[in-house]
Structure 1
Amino acid sequence: MAMTVLFIGGTGQISYPCVADAVARGHKVSVYNRGKRADALPAGVTSIIGDLAGPDYAELDKLKFDVVCQFIAFTPDQVGRDIEIFSGQCGQYIFISSASVYEKPASHYVITEKTPAINPFWPYSQAKIACENLLRDANGLDWTIVRPSHTVRTGLPIMMGDADIMARRMLDGDPTIVAGDGHTPWTLTRSVDFAVPFVGLFGNKRALGEIFHITNDRAHIWDDIQKAIARLLGVEAKIVHVPTDTLVRYNPEWIGPLTGDKAWTAIFDNSKIKSVVGDFSCAESLDEILAEPIQHLKRRLATQRPPKGEFDALVDRICNDQGALGRL
């Protein structure tokens, strides 16, 4: 059944393929954002230009949608405003949270939706948890919460820092860093694969008042991920392993993305989402998962190669210090 769908965002890392999939299924799609992304929207999509923080955003309460997909709210005040605007104005409000909300460290190595949402290390995840709690307490708004894990389309998966700089370091033959021993399993999901089950939630009564993560069933260790990136760039990865606690001492801002996320095993049970929308498959090989991000990277590097700067100096310092350990 065709529905009227509003994407708040719609041109981002995850949302863009979801818009395309929704259109392909015959839904009438509108996209609300600032209109600054270069990617062309699929034919038939209505573009509404505006800012999430602007007064025009409240005007959306004059429109009615079957489904509203919120991709760019990150704080409780933003979600609180959505609750005011869309209560009674839409059939289903879908909030994009994050799998980083899950308990760190997890009490079980396989993550399900029953895994507690407790992340004492990352303010980003804590804000997402607060957003979820607001929705769960809301009256008059039928909600669904979706928690993507590490989903890739335009950006390469690294553990911390700037991915384009890390890739440029690989191309230059410089060392790159992996936290820990590099054998931690980590799940990568293509955005185009995420889109299929995500759009399957639209108008699904079994999804109302429920939380789902949508991820690949297959995980890869971090060393293999970095080696695959280097190989696809035509070079060999020079990986330096550094304990997570040590990295955080060099840069306290890394405690969120590392101790609060990527330093831990991330393997997901997708039984719940499959029981609601049906089975789906995701690309499993790293070559297939990384193909699109590598293409985007090469296009960016062809026009602007990131210059060396403070991040390079920090990575070089850490690698040199780590390499000096044990020397007489």
Structure 2
Amino acid sequence: MHVLVLGGTGLISTAITRQLHDAGHDVTVCNRGESEADIPESVSHVRADRFGDDFPRRVSGVDADAVIDMLCFSDHDANLAVDAFAGEVEQYVMTSSVDVYRRPVDASPVAESAPRRPPTSDYGANKVAAEDAVRAAHDRGAFAATILRPWTTYGPHGNGNLCHTFGVDTTYLARLRDGAPVVVHGDGTGLWGPCHRRDVARAFVGAVGNRTAYGETYNITAEAVPTWERYYRVLADAVDAPDPEFVHVPTDVLRDAAPDRTDFLADHGRYSTTFDTTAARRDLGFDQTIPLERGVREVVEYLRARDRIDRGDDGWIDGLIAEWRDGTAGVRSGE
């Protein structure tokens, strides 16, 4: 098939582009041409602003059989895609997110039929609206739609996307490497499930042209889900760090103490959730084949080769730890 990938050079989409090519598909990527991602030379390229009103016109000359949209974040984006591809392609694959689910959840693992309202975050609310627009287009016969919902995905790209209590950068990798203490929200037993981008990409490739997937929605998430504390130990091992020093601070305290630094924690990190991937394994051939330990080491090697493991401006973390220790000294000493 001829597959048009909207994006095509990002964390997940670079892996999708490569795997589509390796599977024998003709591939065109559509983006603004600002990335230097390593994709096969045979991949065609169309330059367009995915979010611009002229997007449908810019892609009108691409005779694709299927579209994988990595850049659909709202109903506006979805409607642009419908304008561009209704009646023009056989299948449209939308990248959504597990953020569409209401959390905290009633039970885990969370199936695709779980309640979506209210969604976890503003990002999730916009994804819900986008999903609804895509489903409506599918129902009226504009194209066959497939919706995929990844969770947290990491890999050798950019900063690696290895999340931590305060966000997504290399600060914790650097602090662990240097033997500096790291803050862990709560008691560290909450769950966090990173999945390597190549495993996630394989599900997208498995959906293309797969009639079983037409009209369906799938969770594409880690199946092996460690605790946050275990996850941080994996990061520490990957940077050859000493035994990590954890400072456990209640999530609500962190939110109050650093409201401008804890958006990730509020929207994502505080929830301990797992997701049901039965349908994706059955229909798309999805499988988590890359263990976290191996995947993280791959990311660390990638970052080290580019000198990208940086603590940044992390002095505020040291200040927060000192304040917490001072304020709880009596409790911790049993006084």
Q: Deviations over 1:190-233 (max 9, x none)?
A: 11111222211111112112110112321111111111111211
SS in 2 for 1:186: coil
Match of 1:97? 96
Following the alignment from structure 1 to structure 2, what is the Cα–Cα distance between the partners of residues 275 and 121? 27
Matched letter for residue 322 of structure 2: N
8 A Cα contact 1:215 1:268, kept in partner: yes
Alignment gaps of 5+ in structure 2: 331-335
Question: Which TM-score applies when normalising by structure 1?
Answer: 0.90
Segment of structure 1 superposing worse, 76-85 or 270-279? 270-279
8 A Cα contact 2:14 2:38, kept in partner: no
**Count of matched residue positions in the alignment of Structure 1 and Structure 2:** 321
- Taking a change above 3 Å as real, the CA distance of residues 123 and 255 of structure 1, as seen in their structure-2 partners, is farther
Correspondence 1:196 to 2:198: no
Match of 1:282? 289
- Taking a change above 3 Å as real, the CA distance of residues 296 and 118 of structure 1, as seen in their structure-2 partners, is farther
Matched letter for residue 146 of structure 1: L
Following the alignment from structure 1 to structure 2, what is the Cα–Cα distance between the partners of residues 28 and 115? 36
Question: Which of the residues 246, 265, 271 maps onto 2:272?
Answer: 265
8 A Cα contact 1:217 1:282, kept in partner: no
- Taking a change above 3 Å as real, the CA distance of residues 119 and 181 of structure 1, as seen in their structure-2 partners, is farther
Q: CA deviation at 1:84?
A: 1.1
Following the alignment from structure 1 to structure 2, what is the Cα–Cα distance between the partners of residues 48 and 326? 58
Q: CA deviation at 1:144?
A: 0.9
- Counterparts of 1:42-191 in structure 2 under 5 Å? 42-54=40-52, 57-58=55-56, 59-138=58-137, 139=140, 140-154=142-156, 155=160, 156-191=162-197
Following the alignment from structure 1 to structure 2, what is the Cα–Cα distance between the partners of residues 62 and 213? 32
8 A Cα contact 2:101 2:119, kept in partner: no
Q: CA deviation at 1:325?
A: 3.3
- When the two chains are superposed, the root-mean-square deviation of aligned CA atoms in Å is 2.0
Matched letter for residue 29 of structure 1: V
Q: CA deviation at 1:250?
A: 2.6
Following the alignment from structure 2 to structure 1, what is the Cα–Cα distance between the partners of residues 131 and 77? 12
Q: CA deviation at 1:143?
A: 1.1
Q: CA deviation at 1:98?
A: 0.8
Following the alignment from structure 1 to structure 2, what is the Cα–Cα distance between the partners of residues 186 and 306? 23
SS in 2 for 1:230: helix
Matched letter for residue 268 of structure 2: D
Matched letter for residue 141 of structure 1: F
8 A Cα contact 1:123 1:256, kept in partner: no
Match of 2:252? 245
Segment of structure 1 superposing worse, 189-198 or 113-122? 113-122
Q: CA deviation at 1:275?
A: 2.2
Match of 2:333? none
Following the alignment from structure 1 to structure 2, what is the Cα–Cα distance between the partners of residues 250 and 118? 29
8 A Cα contact 1:186 1:266, kept in partner: yes
